[in-house]
Amino acid sequence: MQQSFDSDRFRQALGTFTTGVTIVTTVDAAGSDVGVTANSFNSVSLAPPMVLWSLARTSTSLAAFLAARYFAVHVLASDQQALATRFSTRGADRFAGLNPARGADGIALLDRCAARFECRTAFQYEGGDHVIFVGEVLNFEHCEREPLVFKRGRFALAVGKMPAPHQAGVAQASAADGAFGEDFLMYLLGRAYFQLYQRIRPEILRRNLGDAEYLTLSLLGVRDGRTVAELDSLLAYSGTRVTEGVAVRLAELSLVELDGTPGDGRRLLLTAFGRRSVVELLAVAEAASADAEKSLDPSESHVLRQLLASLVEASNPGIPHPWQT
Amino acid sequence: MQQSFDSDRFRQALGTFTTGVTIVTTVDAAGSDVGVTANSFNSVSLAPPMVLWSLARTSTSLAAFLAARYFAVHVLASDQQALATRFSTRGADRFAGLNPARGADGIALLDRCAARFECRTAFQYEGGDHVIFVGEVLNFEHCEREPLVFKRGRFALAVGKMPAPHQAGVAQASAADGAFGEDFLMYLLGRAYFQLYQRIRPEILRRNLGDAEYLTLSLLGVRDGRTVAELDSLLAYSGTRVTEGVAVRLAELSLVELDGTPGDGRRLLLTAFGRRSVVELLAVAEAASADAEKSLDPSESHVLRQLLASLVEASNPGIPHPWQT
């Protein structure tokens, strides 16, 4: 049954098991701080409360952990990725600038983690080329910070899984019959976009603006002084055209001043009133987003933006983003 | 230092450490299949290859695992959530219908997992109210299936983390100045939607249709025979109006037949040509989505839809979905 063992393939197979990321700290015999990044952590026992993790026999920190009476395990939050990297980098000054609190025997207690377990070394077990450390948990803390995740060798975020559509009791649609279903991406995108847009539309109408005028103003908010042609090409993704008529309309409303003769090369410059209007419209848009995102946790909001950005890049016909030009 | 220990709070703190989900199988002395769901799995050693997991001393499966020479750990894929639940439910007929392959000593080997490790029991260690099992890995397999994840007591999916925006080298925008940035949700949603929509627009124009006519046709694809008023209220989220004029235009193009006298109560019924047109337009839309989603893995696509659905619900002013009416 034994087959020749490919270490890389074994690592890859192990990588399918997603884990959180921890930093384990202790002090050595000289009282110096010692700490390592480990994703080999897991819970063991509830009564007595125990956790475990393992450390390679080749680790320069092994001697300190073997001799330590106490250690602390920190489950890292999603914004502590840099710390995870630092504590797994050979030669890095791992505790520089951290100014940690101190636990039993003076071990470093890092803050802003998702959870922290102060442990007494209970058992040290043989585990091949690693030593398994089992700690009895003396103290613990946890907070609502989003945990950092490690998956297939990359940092990740975990997002709660909802029931599959057919489990939610909604009839399945058949594309072959021309019926789109609730997982139809274009519908979800369009509906999410337009529902948010309807929240700002009253503000747009109240200012006697149309969609093209609003979108033009928001582009000028990012960078002022663009020409009609530049604005039109930036909005090409939307199907909305920026014409001379849009420029004149905005000028009539005292939102922009026009620089140059009529035509594609004429520049639009926000007036103070125009700038204030953009700030106000943006605030309404952000309030609408924040309201809709109440149902999402911070990690979900982050992931949503990240996935949308991927989708936008993959479907981009070559139009730059407004802050790139 | 010891504080009174709140078991629920301890569990919650442990729950911040995200894990994959495994099923561990073996056979008992009578040759019967035994299996449990465990998220206490982790890697231990590369040479020799070793993994560990732990099992409660109160588990009815403990005796079988203590006596077993071999066990198999299955890292579950994202679509195996029901199996995880089944193998953690007391009294469930856990192996019913699975028809597993067989490993050493006849232990059940489940398929369609993200990874599978066949192990020889190497060590059994004390771990408080659990026993820690360390297995030497004799054989393993893994495939590209998305792994199932467990986070804070819920099933989840892990999505790769991208650099924070400011690390990506894009200038930060200031909402206070009226400039939106690359994390402006309404921009990301609108741009993603419109870029996909631009992919089907040529097909819409080629059929002499406008946006309202296209959206009306797609609603009829989900359910035929709706009235002008019903269609208009279903599209209210988008700001697009369905009027008598839209109905007449679709009839002129032989895409629908009109039933009833002119007015809001008039019903639209797809002709065979209309139905075929909807199927074709939907196919183009799905191809555009699939193309844009090439950059996402299956778990990311699932999470994207799930998060968009949450957003749509949270921002829904009370308009039903087309397949709900």
Helix axes A298-315, B272-292, angle to 10 degrees: 110
- Give the pLDDT of residue A183: 86
DSSP characters over A41-99: -EEEETTTTEEEEEEETT-TTHHHHHH-SEEEEEEPBGGGHHHHHHTTSTT--TTTTT-
- Give the pLDDT of residue A166: 40
**What is chain B's pLDDT, residue by residue, as a tens digit (325 residues)?**
344 578 899 999 999 999 999 999 999 999 999 999 999 999 999 999 999 999 999 999 999 999 999 999 999 998 899 999 999 999 889 999 999 999 999 999 999 999 999 999 999 999 999 999 999 999 999 988 889 999 988 888 888 876 554 434 444 567 778 888 888 999 999 999 999 999 999 999 999 999 999 999 999 999 999 999 999 999 999 989 999 999 999 999 999 999 999 988 999 999 999 999 999 999 999 999 999 999 888 778 888 998 999 999 999 999 989 888 7
DSSP characters over B202-239: HHHHHTT--HHHHHHHHHHHHSSS-BHHHHHHHTGGGT
Inter-residue contact A10 to B148 (CB < 8 Å): no
pLDDT tier for residue A2 given thresholds of 50, 70 and 90: very low
Handedness of CA B209, B213, B214, B217 (dihedral sign): negative
ipTM above 0.85, yes or no: no
pLDDT tier for residue A315 given thresholds of 50, 70 and 90: very high
Q: Where are any strands of DSSP class E within B143-290? A: 149-151, 154-160, 256-259, 267-270
DSSP letter at B243 equals: -
Q: What average pLDDT does range A235-252 have in this prediction?
A: 94
- Give the pLDDT of residue A165: 47
Q: Side chain identity at B188, as an amino acid letter?
A: L
- Give the pLDDT of residue B132: 98
Q: Is pLDDT at A171 greater than 60 in this prediction? A: no
- Give the pLDDT of residue A264: 87
CB-CB under 8 Å, A10 with B140: yes
CB-CB under 8 Å, A141 with B13: yes
DSSP 3-state percent helix, strand, coil across chain A (nearest 5): 40, 25, 35
Q: Is pLDDT at A3 greater than 70 in this prediction? A: no
A324 vs A109: which has the higher pLDDT:
A109
Rounded CA gap, B257 and B220, in Å? Answer: 12
Inter-residue contact A22 to A115 (CB < 8 Å): no
Q: Tell me the chain A residues in contact with residue B142 when contact means C-beta distances shorter than 8 Å.
A: 9, 12-13, 16
A258, containing H or E segment: strand A256-259
- Number of Cβ within 10 Å of residue B320's Cβ equals 10
Q: Tell me the chain B residues in contact with residue A285 when contact means C-beta distances shorter than 8 Å.
A: 180, 184, 186
CB-CB under 8 Å, B180 with A193: no
- Give the pLDDT of residue A170: 47
Give the residue from A16, A57, A249 showing the smallest Cα distance to A151. Answer: A16
Rounded CA gap, B226 and B320, in Å? Answer: 14
Q: What average pLDDT does range A145-151 have in this prediction?
A: 91
Pairing of strands B50-56, B42-45: antiparallel
pLDDT tier for residue A10 given thresholds of 50, 70 and 90: very high
Nearest beta carbon to residue A44 from set B127, B218, B313: B127
Q: What average pLDDT does range A202-218 have in this prediction?
A: 95
CB-CB under 8 Å, B16 with A147: yes
- Number of Cβ within 10 Å of residue B211's Cβ equals 15
Give the residue from B217, B248, B247 showing the smallest Cα distance to B229. Answer: B247
Q: How far is B96 from chain A, CA to nearest CA, in Å?
A: 21
pLDDT tier for residue A162 given thresholds of 50, 70 and 90: low
pLDDT tens digits for range A260-303: 999 889 999 999 999 999 999 999 999 999 999 998 887 788 88
CB-CB under 8 Å, B189 with A189: yes
Q: Tell me the chain B residues in contact with residue A52 when contact means C-beta distances shorter than 8 Å.
A: 52, 54, 127, 132
Q: How far is B47 from chain A, CA to nearest CA, in Å?
A: 6
Rounded CA gap, B263 and B243, in Å? Answer: 9
- Give the pLDDT of residue A97: 94
Q: What is the pTM of this model?
A: 0.79
Query: Looking at chain A, which residue has its C-alpha nearest residue B40?
Result: A42
Q: What is the CA radius of gyration of chain B?
A: 28
Pairing of strands A19-20, A50-56: unpaired
CB-CB under 8 Å, A279 with B177: yes
CB-CB under 8 Å, B151 with A160: yes
- Give the pLDDT of residue B259: 95
Rounded CA gap, A17 and B121, in Å? Answer: 20
Cis ω before A48 (30° cut-off from 0): yes
Nearest beta carbon to residue A173 from set B41, B157, B222: B222
C-alpha distance from residue A204 to each of A217, A228, A250, A278 (Å): 11, 20, 12, 10
Cis ω before B317 (30° cut-off from 0): no
Q: Is pLDDT at A6 greater than 50 in this prediction? A: yes
Query: Looking at chain A, which residue has its C-alpha nearest residue B125?
Result: A125
- Give the pLDDT of residue B4: 55
CB-CB under 8 Å, A286 with B294: no
- Give the pLDDT of residue B170: 47
- Give the pLDDT of residue B168: 44
Question: What b/e readout covers A245-272, taking b as 16+ CB neighbours within 10 angstroms?
Answer: ebbebbbebebbebeeeeebebbbebee
Pairing of strands A33-38, B130-142: unpaired
Q: How far is A246 from chain B, CA to nearest CA, in Å?
A: 20
Q: Side chain identity at B195, as an amino acid letter?
A: Q
